[in-house]
Structure 1
Amino acid sequence: MLTVLILRNKFCFVLLFTLFCFSAANAQDILKAYVDTAFKNNIVLQQKNVSLEKAQYALKTAKGLFLPTVALQGAYQTADGGRNIPLPLGDLMNPVYSTLNQITGSTNFPMLENQTINFLPKNFHDAKLRTTVPIINTDIIYNKRIAQQQVVLKEYEVQIYKRDLVKEIKTAYYNYLNALAAVDIYKSGLQLAKEGLRVNEKLLENGKGLPAYVLRSQSEVENANATLLDAQQKVDNARLYFNFLLNRNPNDLILSDTNDQTELAKVEGLLAGLNMTNQREELKVLGQVEGINKNVQKMNSQFAVPKLGAFLDVGTQSEGFHFNANTRYYMLGLQLEIPIFSGNRNSNKLKESNLDLRNAELNSNLVAQQLSLSAKVSQNNLRSAYQTYQSSQKQFEAAATYLRLIERGYLAGANSFVETIDARNQYTSSKILVNINLYKVLTAMANMERETASYVIQ
């Protein structure tokens, strides 16, 4: 029999422990599911992803500048008038041809007419395929590097917004739970007020109460009703904002299965030490900005490097739209550009890029200090919120004990009705305060999680 009791107790302990773990895990799974939903649906995050995709296409464009460019080019021209070049072929050659015909006794040498050649083309076309390829061009090399860094920069910006979104979702979720708990507390307060009204009505019926007490109890019931309606409105507003972050229907139901004590158990560990990390996305962004400015500086410093390119033309040109072996042609060549003087624009641009790089380095140092300060402040805020929560718990315990004693004393005639109202208000206020401070702690934890970048983003 003793063995059976021991086995039963062990089974009950394992069952309760399993249920507790499942409840805590389920609560975290629900919140994580909401975060994943926001990652898919949030409109601002979608805009960030669009910017990232644009940067990726810009990188592909920069890579494409290394490849040959092929284009079909065509031109048609016709004109009349203008300057002419006279060619007196007849005057020059006809005497010679006439003499030759007399000597040979033949007509093998015909007479020629004088010619006139116009400078302007008439009914002339030129159609060709032009292929160009860069050989030496430092600008496109650095533009590709900058485009690659821009892609990484946009990726970090997406990560930063995701962390901000996680914080906003958790804060909105805790605000919703806080509002729900407040509704339950005010409902409990309304029940206490109604019970006070019932007791005073009974006492009045039995000749032991006063009409003023009944009127005051009715006023307390109406006040509790008004407070409850206001709390329910806050629940609706919290639900609207939470669903807005997830880009869902405003009236969608929010699951509220949570285990606050499990979350509170993490506070001591967070307060024990501050886990500072140098892998913050904000610092990585600034590192990328520095890298971009360095490449811009290097690109501007290469202004004296010549640019060399090659081209190949394959086409046809003629008058009268003829196409034959005499009209077809090809042309192969190189193009070289060596800068000599540009009004000091290149040197001024280099100095400007040097200042941009210096400013980026200073900004990195400043932001690193700001992030360190924000993390320490968030830890202090969490410590303050947790201590306030613990203090409000003790205050609530005292208010609950005080209410029980006053209610007993009122029924026994030892305490006045005003004292019961005061005790009831203290009880409700302290219970609300515990609830508010609880979610202040959870919100402070979400804020510290953001400031230390400890949330794992897949």
Structure 2
Amino acid sequence: MKLTPLICKQSVCALLFVVVFGFFKANAQDALNNYIDFGLKNNIVLQQKNISLEKAQYALKNAKGLFLPSVNLQAAYQTADGGRNIPLPLGDLMNPVYQTLNQITGTNRFPMLENQTINFLPKNFHDAKLRTTVPIINTDIIYSNKIAKQQTTLKEFEVQVYKRDLVKEIKTAYYNYLSALAAVDIYQSGVQLAKEGLRVNQKLLENGKGLPAYVLRAQSEVENANATLLDAEQKVNNARLYFNFLLNRDANEAVEVEIQDQANLAKVEGLLAGLSAVGEREELKALQQVEGINRSVQKMNGQFAVPKLGAFLDVGTQSEGFKFNSNTRYYMVGLQLEVPIFSGNRNSNKLKESGLDLKNAELNSNLVAQQLNLAAKTSQNSLRSAYQTYQSSLKQLEAASTYLRLIDRGYLAGSNSFVETVDARNQYTSAKILVNINLYKTLIALTNLERETASFPIN
């Protein structure tokens, strides 16, 4: 029985496996970046954010359109009967005069007239016109356009903020998937070690040097290792489901797995030495836009006393009986002036209210700036702790590997008990799992710090 060479080979391979993160091929950064690009294009929530941004852009176009003339076709038709009448006795007034003139001239050049009745209500009357209106002085339009621009910019920052959150979630989910997958490999190695222990004890028992209790204990260890392996495989499935959910693709689609090289770990020392500034975070820029919007609203409300002046031009036709000729056509040009005089102090109260909104926005900006700075420092401390813990776990793995080799040799030589080999093997497996967990805790902590400092290039 040559158990020791096998154990040594597995231990050395496992140590190299952890040190160089060698459970996959090289260069995971390309695969991860491809997944990030895919997620930024296909994530459902991000698509909703982009729709909100597009709506804000159309609102801005509408605000700009208020500066342009507005042309509308207006038409009205009216007919009525009855109501008040105005009698015009033209015959009674003019016929005696016309009759005398005819007698003097000896002709009938002056015909007799009938009395007339004029009705107040129009009958079969239409009025159709093209009305063109254009604002000349209107401060509300000016500030509405400015506010629409600021709101569009605010939506852009909101999209950027969610993109950064999505990148963080994708990278974290990817690292969790790699960690779960690596755990499966480690537990598979543990199963092989347990089976090898069972085989050795069976051979010892067959040769009269072992005990039945050791065989039973070895069988129990194999079953326990298999159960742990099944649980780890289920965690892989769950991690894959969540990762695909973030990318908005089929839940069972395979995840491309490549090793995360030491480039990110090399960044850790630099990040721990100095903290990047958080002054360029989109959250702060968005809050600055909120301040700007409230400031614009305050200025707009402060212009309530400025008169509004507009011009209009009407070109149309009016007639009874739908006639259209030179006598029915008309045009009208005019100016409209509106000067506010009294509104029950509503304008001044509205101005004070907008001033309070502006003050609240400024206070909120200061508060969030402090919170972001605190979050960045906390993330830096968390990264430092995770990195130091990872370094410590590497040393624990090295010690556990050496301990396992010594105990296995001692067991074969008869100087150590089987219980000690089981304990050594469990320590070794636990050390490998701990290295795996701490490795990805470090990478996730690095991702969190990257998010808190807004250092990942979104564009």
- State the TM bucket, normalised to the shorter chain: over 0.9
Tell me the equivalent position of 2:359.
358
Instruction: Give the whole-Å Cα distance in 2 for the aligned partners of 1:393 and 1:211.
Output: 36
1:191-213 CA-to-partner distances (Å, cap 9, x unmatched) read 00000110111111111111111
Please list, as runs of the form range in 1=range in 2, the aligned pairs for 1:259-338 lying within 5 A after superposition: 259-338=260-339
CA distance in 2, matches of 1:309, 1:328: 24
Aligned twin of 2:250: 249
1:284-330 C-alpha deviation (Å, 9 max, x unpaired)? 00111111111100000000111111111101111111111111111
Letter in 2 for 1:123: N
Seq. identity, %: 82
CA distance in 1, matches of 2:401, 2:28: 29
Distance 1:26 1:203 in 2: 46
- Structure 2 vs 1, CA of residues 25 and 62 (structure 1 numbering), >3 Å: closer, same or farther? farther
Residue 260 (structure 1) shift? 3.9
Contact 1:24–1:262 under 8 Å retained in 2: no
By how many angstroms is 1:26 displaced?
A: 3.3
Secondary structure of 2:334's match? Answer: strand
RMSD: 1.3
Q: TM-score, normalised by structure 2?
A: 0.93
3-state SS in 2 of match to 1:266: helix
Q: What does residue 210 of structure 2 align with?
A: 209
- Displacement after TM superposition at 1:393 (Å): 1.4
**Offset of 1:25 from its aligned partner?**
8.2
Deviation (angstroms), 1:24: 9.7
Q: Is the 8 A contact 2:28 2:261 kept in 1?
A: no
TM-score, normalised to structure 1, is: 0.94
Structural mapping, 1:406-425, within 5 Å: 406-425=407-426
Residues 116-135 of structure 1: pairs in structure 2 closer than 5 A = 116-135=117-136
Counterparts of 2:27 and 2:399, CA distance in 1 = 33
Is the aligned partner of 1:151 residue 2:152? yes
In the aligned structure 1, how far is the partner of 2:307 from the partner of 2:383? 61
Conserved 8 A contact 2:278-2:373:
no
The answer to whether the Cα contact below 8 Å between 1:375 and 1:452 also exists between their aligned partners in 2 is yes
Cα drift, residue 346 of structure 1: 0.8
Amino acid at match of 1:43: I
Runs of 4 or more off by more than 6 Å in structure 1?
none
Q: Where does residue 437 of structure 2 map in the other structure?
A: 436
- 1:191 maps to 192
Trace 1:378-457 onto structure 2 (pairs within 5 A): 378-457=379-458
Aligned mates of 1:385, 1:148 — CA distance in 2: 44
State which drifts further: 421-430 or 245-254: 245-254
**Aligned AA for 2:350?**
K
Aligned residues: 437
Distance 1:259 1:67 in 2: 57
- Counterpart of 2:172? 171
Rounded Cα–Cα distance in structure 2 between residues aligned with 1:62 and 1:329:
33
Q: Which amino acid aligns with 1:169?
A: I
Shift of 1:259: 3.3
Worse-superposed segment, 330-339 or 257-266: 257-266
Deviations 1:212-248 (A, max 9, x none): 1111111111111111111111111111111111112
Query: Cα distance, 1:277 vs. partner?
Result: 3.3
Give the unaligned 5+ runs of structure 1. Answer: 1-19
Q: How big is the shift at 1:263?
A: 2.0
Q: Shift of residue 262 of structure 1?
A: 2.7
Structure 1 residue matching 2:249: 3-state secondary structure: coil
**CA distance in 1 between partners of 2:397 and 2:197 (Å):** 20
Q: Which amino acid aligns with 2:153?
A: V
